[in-house]
Structure 1
Amino acid sequence: MAKVLLFSDFGVDDVITVLYGYYSEEVEIVAIVADYGNVSKRTAIRNAQFLSSILKVELPLIGGASQPMTAIDQEVFPDIHGPVGLGPFIPAEDGNDYVLENFFKVKEVMDEYGKDLTIVSVGRLTSLATSYLLYEETMRNVGRIIIMGGAFNVPGNITPVAEANVFSDPVAANIIFELSTIPIDIIPLDVTMKALLKPEFVEELDDYYVKVDDPVGQLIAPMINYYYEFYSKSNPGIEGSPIHDLVALWATQRNAKIEYTKVPVKVSTQRGCSFGATFGDFRQTPDKEFWPVHRIATSIDVNAYLSQIMSEFKSKS
């Protein structure tokens, strides 16, 4: 079973990913870093605590970054993720200020699990980059690092060339790629946009949760349907919802059928039309760019992915 430290910005696909971690018997989320991105840092912490309460599971929670290293003001995306990142759901306020300033616990988690730990970052990359700046030696001793981000040979989803997680803080992305001594597994839009949850998949899962009377599971379909409503408008003809972050967590499993290509990687930090673009040197020449080398996911067995996550979503009930 993969032991996962999850960095997350708690939009719809993040929440679905955490729920998958709850239902799956192949993944254990041992701690979560909640930070800005799809929602504000405060809302991300609130969403994480909401999930903890409905799951009746104590999720060790760490407060992450509230702004990028670029110091560029960030926008949130209620049209994609809902007013508070939970699709149509808005939990009642409980008077909590949702302030967490305990980032030092990232090191404690890494020290505790060492090589058994897989870091999965599915949000903006500021907090993960901060881990490298503060705890570079400790970062050398984790088992694996997976990032959902980037768009290499497909269009971006923020600009024609840039994906949201990298675009929001390309400085942080470059710090990670430059400082990591472990080749990072990058799960870009190139594969996540192929791994669609079609309406019939979502309906089957929802019917199952209704049948077994699982109220937590019954939250999944309304959130995905909210998400799909945006995608069906912004990408006419799209056949389902790309739950990007879920692919990254599924990738922790040994039998995840994803193919990677090891190439030099660079991120553009130059203001202008290339800002936040991810570049991989896929040329066959031996004279490749002298950039840090990491593993980019280039293909995914979608049928295997869908079959396995359906089985695991049903495994607890």
Structure 2
Amino acid sequence: MRKKILLFCDPGIDDSIAIIYLLLNPNIELVGIVTSYGNVTKRQATANAYYLLQIANETHIPVIAGAATSVEPDQDVYYPDIHGAEGLGPIRPPSSLVFQTYPFDEVRKIINQYEKELIIVDTGRSTALATAFTLFDEDIKKVGSFYVMGGAFFVPGNVTALAEANFYGDPTSSNYVVRRAHNLTITPLNVTQNAIITREIVQYLIRYSTSPFSFLITPIYEYYREAYKKNLPNVQGAPVHDLLTVMVANDPSLAEYIYYDAKVVDAPGDARGLSFIDARPTSPRGKTRIAVRLNYQKFVNDFVKTMTQT
């Protein structure tokens, strides 16, 4: 049986690669995409998601209008230096692109259609997912599991010294989600920063892939790689944080985990967006699964197999 995934995202290059992976993986059925602000504006994120569905001839998959701002909109920051002005590096969806979005209540309908079969994956700011918890509090209990990309546990952040971008972008919503979500797996920077795609891997994909996405993989990867080199000169490629999260949702054995209840600092100040656990020896363990080590070779093998359909 194919895994049913509802994706909350803000495409963004790594979100876009995650969407491509979901569309190409024969073991996954992408049942909806909720698009929100984050790497780019909500409108641009929505256009990018629909553009990818159009390339794959999968426009029957509902694109659902998510959040336009965080709960503190004056704190919203976009990242054109990382993802490009329109989120896909040098690639721009056609100006003639026309797309339809579904109302947010479609999330409730999808939950009730699939119930425990449904996996919700959140690779962006958690504003829209927190909204789903508040609006559909009884329905969302039927969801099988949740996977969230965010946080940095005992490692440096990537937006501040302490905070990762998703949790920093709307820490109030992130803290709400990590407290409310059941069967929750968090993929923080501890593992995602090691999920590096190299130029050699991309060249192999282009050589052997027959997917309709082949024409855009190299340009968006090269843009992303060059952006990362400015901050991490010694990096051997580009880390695909969001891609890893959907891959872990498909195959949790890609990572090793610890089990603690996580919290996110949602107060203003230097610690804003900090994710933390109580790791004292006498503290009780929690139920949230937090990925801390990546099986890199298994990650690469899975990615290459899916992207080349071999």
Deviation of residue 100 (structure 1)?
4.1
1: CA distance, partners of 2:280 / 2:304: 37
Are residues 88 and 142 of structure 1, via their aligned partners in 2, closer, same or farther at CA, if it must alter by over 3 Å?
Answer: same
List structure 1 runs of 4+ shifted beyond 3 angstroms: 98-101
Which residue is equivalent to 2:67? 65
What 5-or-longer segments of structure 1 have no aligned partner?
none
1:92 maps to what in 2?
94
Q: Once the 2 structures are TM-superposed, how far is the Cα of residue 311 of structure 1 from its aligned partner? A: 0.6
Give the RMSD, CA atoms, in angstroms: 1.7
Q: Cα offset for 1:284?
A: 2.0
Query: 2:220 aligns to what?
Result: 223
Task: Tell me the alpha carbon deviations over residues 95-128 of structure 1, each in whole angstroms, 9 at most, x when there is no partner.
Answer: 75x6846001100000000000000000110000
Equivalent residues in 2 for 1:237-248, closer than 5 Å: 237-248=234-245
Contact 1:31 1:61 in 2 (8 A): yes
How far does the alpha carbon of each residue in 1:15-49 deviate from its partner, in whole angstroms, 9 at most, with x for none? 11111111111222110001100000000111112
Select the residue among 227, 247, 250 that pairs with 2:247.
250
1:82 positional shift: 1.2
Instruction: Report the more deviating stretch, 111-120 or 262-271.
Output: 262-271
Please give the secondary structure, in 1, of the residue aligned with 2:90: coil
- Sequence identity of aligned pairs in percent? 36
Paired residues, what number?
308
Q: CA offset at residue 215 of structure 1?
A: 4.5
Secondary structure of the equivalent of 1:90?
Answer: coil
Whole-angstrom CA distance in 2 between matches of 1:254 and 1:240: 23
Task: Tell me, yes or no, if the aligned pair for 1:36 and 1:44 is still in contact at 8 Å.
Answer: yes
The alignment status of 1:208 with 2:208, answered yes or no, reads: yes
Aligned residue in 1 for 2:186: 186
- Give the equivalent residue in structure 2 for 1:140: 141
Q: Contact (CA 8 Å) 1:83, 1:90: kept in 2 or not?
A: no
Aligned twin of 2:166: 165
How far apart are the structure 1 equivalents of 2:73 and 2:85?
24
Given residue 228 of structure 2, which amino acid in structure 1 is its aligned partner? Y
What is the match of residue 131 of structure 1? 132
User: 2:290 — aligned with what?
Assistant: 296
Q: Contact (CA 8 Å) 1:265, 1:293: kept in 2 or not?
A: no
Separation in 1, partners of 2:116, 2:124: 23
Alignment map for 1:78-117 (pairs within 5 Å): 78-94=80-96, 96=98, 100=101, 102-117=103-118
Amino acid at match of 1:312: T
8 A Cα contact 1:147 1:184, kept in partner: yes
Which position in structure 2 is the counterpart of 1:153? 154
d(CA) in 1 for partners of 2:194 and 2:284? 31
Q: Gaps spanning 5+ residues in structure 2: where?
A: none
Paired with 1:125 and 1:150, the residues of 2 have a C-alpha distance of 12
The letter of the residue matching 2:207 is D
Q: Please, which moves more after superposition, 46-55 or 159-168?
A: 46-55
What is the Cα deviation at residue 197 of structure 1? 0.6
**Pair 266,91 (structure 1): closer, same or farther in 2 beyond 3 Å:** same
* 1:37 counterpart residue number: 38
2:142 partner SS: coil
